[in-house]
Amino acid sequence: MDARLLPTRDRAATPCRYGRRMPQLLDRLIGPYERHLLAGSGYVLGGFRCPPEAARWREPNWIGERPHVVLPSTAVRIGAGPAPDEVCTVNEVLVYDRDTTYRRGLVSAEGDRCTFVAVDDELADELGLETGAGVRHAPCAPEPYLRVHRARAALHRPDPDMLAADEAVLALLGHAARRPCPRGRADRGAAATVDAVKGLLAGAPTRVWTLAELGAAVHYSPYFLARTFHRHTGYPIARYRRLLCLRQSLPGVLRTGADLSRIAAEHGFSSHSHYTRAFRAAFGCTPSEARGTQVPIT
């Protein structure tokens, strides 16, 4: 990717100190190969396509002024400095230090296609993302890989779950950084913090929350809050909130003759189809099927 075209510290997208700004859908073409898709809590998520005939296969590439985490969609050979170039495939993640000059070598007939995350200084420092290696190749576990690709695909729907997308990207960054949670902070007061967030969600489950808002309310960064909440409850925050809405909707669903479109709107879903899709994912049946069968509600 040509990160020279990415504005340094784009504060409209990634506000200082994790401000309360909503994550933003971008769909912004940056030069001939790069598209920005989402501005989240301290990062920009994008897609990159470099065809085999592009000149950048034959010249040095510069990652830019931000660290990057990259999920390849095609095999590509990448190297920096004196270290030998390595083939990176879809089973790996690449972590680039800021201001790294690197080499790109052709492996796939499709060229270089990838999903990338350009990370702001504050979040990169919190994660301990940079190692001084220039570029680091590491295995990528299936769960964060799938979550990010699901989130990227969902951004093209009319009703994307921005909280879920934000959490998915932050989970990938945490996986790539592999810095453990500070145990002292996690052990002192984490349960009370998670309880406070659960109270906020339960008090206004249909509100469109952001990680920045929830984090500000409990004085946690978005990344640390998402990781702490998941560890203590077993749920990402977006899924916990969605299940609150779905389970609270059940009494209405099970009443004969109730208007499902009205129920969907009352419980924070943008459409009947959005509600039905989420209901099936949670309970294994549609709302209409739940009315006519004895469905165990979990």
pLDDT at 159: 80
Residue type, 291: R
Distance, CA of 253 to CA of 260 (rounded, Å)? 7
pLDDT at 255: 79
Alpha-carbon separation of residue 286 from 154, 161, 293 (angstroms): 20, 20, 11
Alpha-carbon separation of residue 39 from 65, 200, 229 (angstroms): 17, 24, 22
pLDDT at 191: 86
Q: What is the mean pLDDT of each run of 10 residues along the chain (298 residues)?
A: 36 39 87 95 96 94 96 93 90 95 94 97 94 90 90 88 94 83 58 91 89 94 94 91 88 82 88 88 86 52
pLDDT at 188: 59
pLDDT at 178: 67
Give the long-range contacts of residues 156-160, CB within 8 A, separation 24 or more. Answer: 158/270, 158/271, 159/269, 159/270, 159/271, 159/274, 160/25
Report the Cα 167 to chain-centroid distance in Å.
5
